Amino acid sequence: MTTTDLPALTPQLDFVRSQFPALTGPWTFLDNAGGSQVLTGVADRVRDYLVQTSVQLGATYAVSQEAAARVADGTRAAAELINAADVREVVLGSSATQLVSNFAQSFGATLKEGDEVIVTSTDHEANIGAWLRTRGAVVRVWRPQPDTLELQLADLDALMTPRTRLVCVTHASNILGQINPVAEIARRVHAGGAQVFVDGVAYAPHRLVDVQALDVDYYMFSFYKVFGPHISLLYGRLEHLLALPNINHNFVGEQAIPYKLQPGNVNYELTYSLRAITDYLEELGMRVQPGTQGRAALTAAYGAIAAHESMLAGLLLDHLRGKARVRIIGPATADPAVRVATVSFVVEGRASSDYPQALDDHHIAIRYGNFYARRLMDELALDPVEGVVRVSMAHYNTAQDVQRLIAGLDAVGLD
């Protein structure tokens, strides 16, 4: 690869890495799908909120008013990032698992006996188990093709019936790295009279989410995997959220969104810190493509991120494809239209746990296991505990990081 072929992010890597203080330490972090590193601006805002405005919202005094304005701005920043039409469409909570559980409790109350919910066997358990526990729901499973592991749209069409109320699908598998055609899925689901709920946890760190362009009804992801704190987001189309039953205190009005879906309210300091994520990505986009701002800058940033991460994934996939005993679990291509930079594999005759544990001493952080995609492990006939070796790259990783990893894997033995 020549200098002119390098992704547009490459000249900005010094800037990028300077924004993540953990990267100055000895560790090479390639477990980013489990949790990304945190921006300095995020940590600064959390501290500033706690030191300057750690009071309850809703009071008349000035500090409480400032605290409320800070929390509101963090929510606006989240809405801007996903292109929500209204800030009330953003529901925040402690985790994606908790948010889908809360949503299932509310949405489930609208189901009639025999109504159907479709889930996929490639999803994180959060987007499956909540529906299996929902009383009255008939859960149908959309399974991938055995050879390609792709979710075929024709199979979805065959599963849908007039009783289908909701289709739950992941935007990108946290094991396969494979990107699903969510906009087309949403079109077909809507044509069948149902709604679509998308788990974007494994997608949002790598591609810009645009809920309006995708035309989804609901979309969730975790900010702790998008360079921020341990707080998560659920988007819901305004008219849908208004129609959902309240799960908060019984005196909270049905029109009180998002509060009626946020029992215990939000974490104030973490919400305030979300502005730092949107600001960072916008600044990155302006550096990558001077003259842009706002949504155009965010688009430029994520375009550069996708190209850079594709280059990193390509280095690893090229190496793994040359090893006869290695089975790549997911697309073998680094094409950014097909996959994100989350690469899973198994090695014939070796335990997946051999590799992360051996690399710990070299300060190279990767992981093994089922990553809460236990049903996919069953589909693949893989050991549910050993699972796969997973390497998950982020835009702040470098080619040198991947080369260190490759050398470490070879030292453990891939042949």
Q: pLDDT by residue (tens digit) across 87-115?
A: 999 999 999 999 999 999 999 999 999 99
Q: Which residues pair with 28 in a beta bridge?
A: 364
DSSP state of 390: E
Contact indicator for 218, 237 with CB cutoff of 8 Å: yes
- In the structure encoding, which two tokens stand for residue 103, read together? 């949503």
For residue 306, give the amino acid letter.
A
Helical packing angle, 399-412 and 294-321, nearest 10°: 30
CB atoms within 10 A of CB 276: 24
Q: pLDDT by residue (tens digit) across 16-43?
A: 999 999 999 999 999 999 999 999 999 9
Cα separation, 302 vs 282, in Å, equals: 10
Secondary structure (DSSP) of 162-194: TTEEEEEEESB-TTT-BBP-HHHHHHHHHHTT-
Comparing 2-16, 196-210, 398-412, the range with the smallest average pLDDT is 2-16
- In the structure encoding, which two tokens stand for residue 283, read together? 């600044």
Q: pLDDT by residue (tens digit) across 341-361?
A: 999 999 999 999 999 999 999
What's the whole-number mean pLDDT along residues 162-179? 98
The residue written with tokens 């974007």 in the block is: 200
For residue 324, give the amino acid letter.
A
Strand, coil or helix: what is 306?
helix
Cα separation, 138 vs 114, in Å, equals: 6
The residue written with tokens 């959060």 in the block is: 126
DSSP state of 229: -
- In the structure encoding, which two tokens stand for residue 329, read together? 């679990």
Determine which helix (DSSP H) or strand (DSSP E) holds 102, and give its type and residue range: helix 96-108
Task: Indicate the pLDDT class of residue 190, thresholds 50, 70 and 90.
Answer: very high
Comparing 5-14, 154-163, 384-393, the range with the smallest average pLDDT is 5-14
Average pLDDT of every residue of the chain: 96
CB atoms within 10 A of CB 263: 15
Architecture of the domain whose range is 43-277:
3-Layer(aba) Sandwich (3.40)
**Count helices and strands in the chain by DSSP H and E runs:** 14, 13
Return the CATH number of 3-40+295-412, one of 3.40.50.2300, 3.40.50.720, 3.30.470.20, 3.90.1150.10. 3.90.1150.10
Cα separation, 103 vs 118, in Å, equals: 15
For residue 251, give the amino acid letter.
F
What's the whole-number mean pLDDT along residues 52-66? 97
Cα separation, 54 vs 60, in Å, equals: 15
Residue 3 has pLDDT above 60, yes or no: no
What are the residue boundaries of the structural domains of the chain, listed by start? 3-40+295-412, 43-277
pTM for the model = 0.96
Q: Which ranges constitute the DSSP H helices of 322-389?
A: 354-360, 374-379
| Dihedral over Cα of 100, 219, 238, 74: its sign | positive
DSSP state of 228: S
Q: pLDDT by residue (tens digit) across 224-246?
A: 999 999 999 999 999 999 999 99
pLDDT at 11: 94
Task: Indicate the pLDDT class of residue 185, thresholds 50, 70 and 90.
Answer: very high
**CA-wise closest residue to 280 among 16, 9, 1:** 16
Residue 303 has pLDDT above 60, yes or no: yes
Strand, coil or helix: what is 368?
strand
Residue 6 has pLDDT above 80, yes or no: no
Contact indicator for 191, 216 with CB cutoff of 8 Å: no
Q: Which residues are CB-neighbours of 152 under 8 A, at least 6 positions away?
A: 144, 145
pLDDT at 136: 82
For residue 259, give the amino acid letter.
Y
What's the whole-number mean pLDDT along residues 160-185? 98
pLDDT at 5: 55
pLDDT at 323: 96
Q: pLDDT by residue (tens digit) across 81-94?
A: 999 999 999 999 99
Contact indicator for 280, 69 with CB cutoff of 8 Å: no
- In this prediction, what percent of the chain has a pLDDT beyond 70? 98
**CA-wise closest residue to 201 among 314, 122, 102:** 122
Q: Which residues pair with 92 in a beta bridge?
A: 233
pLDDT at 8: 85
DSSP state of 223: G
- In the structure encoding, which two tokens stand for residue 182, read together? 């969510």
Contact indicator for 277, 42 with CB cutoff of 8 Å: yes
